[in-house]
Structure 1
Amino acid sequence: MMCGVSTSAEQEPAGSPLTLYLVKRLELAIRALLDDALRPVGLTTLQYTALSVLEASGPLSSAQLARRSFLRPQTMHEMVLALEKRGLIARTPKPDNRRVLLAGLTDAGRALLAGCAPAVAEVEGALLAELSPAQRATFREGLQHGVLALGALSSQRRSQEG
């Protein structure tokens, strides 16, 4: 046990990399491929993620968008300003709290996302190409479980700090 957290190393065969290491390697490979694919339209993977979150959820505050995009609020604030300057998002006051600005996609933002869809689909297709439909479902379920489990751990830690 290191840093007060048990690892999956006890359950894996000796010499096998930690699941966390494999997930990080996968994330880095995806990010590199997406950065390359999105560069011609002037987006980074992080910006694409934020725009995709807004497309799926509708308008959000910068703090909400940061949480859903897995970024620090300060980083998201800078990104929101850059995306707004490009005309990809617009911010409007929240109806019940005019001090909170909600970021939402503009028509230009939606069009840019639609134009990115084939490149993103190509990366996802390559990731899943060798998996059967059942393996794809299991892979997605495992990833979703990990996101929920670690999200719960993060929330628990934040509540203990505050």
Structure 2
Amino acid sequence: MSQEVVGDLDLSVSYVLKQVHASMRAAMEESLRPMELTVPQYACLELLGRNSGLSSSELARRAFVSRQSMNLVLRRLQERGLLARPSQAPHGRALPSELTDDGRAVLRHASAAARAAEKELFSPLSLERQRRLREDLAECLAAAANSE
């Protein structure tokens, strides 16, 4: 039985993507730490800032975390007064979440910090090369979604 070989990791696009992801995550963690936010908490705030009223399940899916993890994220953000959730679901079982005024204020600072971390990481690339990279990766995602 022959075994498939990944090959030279230095030539693997996916390996470099993983390294970039890890580097971006570390930079974001560092920039969000003064605000006492984790990356999943920031992602949750960002998603709610753009789509108020999302359920825990939808937030989990869009933030790439489990539903259980998202429930912890939501609970912590609610305890800090950054988001509000009704005690009972208005319809069905989903509890829609909304940012509070404090949540919107924290989100403004967190977004600026996250954007600064991203700018720093991608600063070796011109704006045109960043645009091309974003478009190329989006094309790969679209092809993967179409094959599912």
| TM-score of the pair, normalised by structure 2 | 0.83
Report the Cα distance in structure 2 between the residues aligned to 1:91 and 1:34, rounded to whole angstroms.
Answer: 26
Return the match for 1:137 from 115, 119, 131.
131
1:152 deviates by: 5.9
| TM-score of the pair, normalised by structure 1 | 0.76
Return the match for 1:115 from 96, 109, 114.
109
Report the Cα distance in structure 2 between the residues aligned to 1:73 and 1:149, rounded to whole angstroms.
Answer: 27
Structure 2 unaligned segments of length 5 or more: list them. Answer: none
1:151 deviates by: 5.3
Report the Cα distance in structure 2 between the residues aligned to 1:114 and 1:51, rounded to whole angstroms.
Answer: 10
Contact 2:55 2:94 in 1 (8 A): yes
1:6-30 Cα shifts (integer Å, max 9, x gaps): 99x58xxx55342222111111111
Contact 2:46 2:111 in 1 (8 A): no
Aligned-CA RMSD value: 2.5
Aligned residues: 144
Match of 1:106 in 2: 100
Report the Cα distance in structure 2 between the residues aligned to 1:87 and 1:148, rounded to whole angstroms.
Answer: 37
Q: Percent identity?
A: 33
Structure in which a larger fraction of residues adopt strand: 1
1:8-53 Cα shifts (integer Å, max 9, x gaps): x58xxx5534222211111111111111111111101111111111
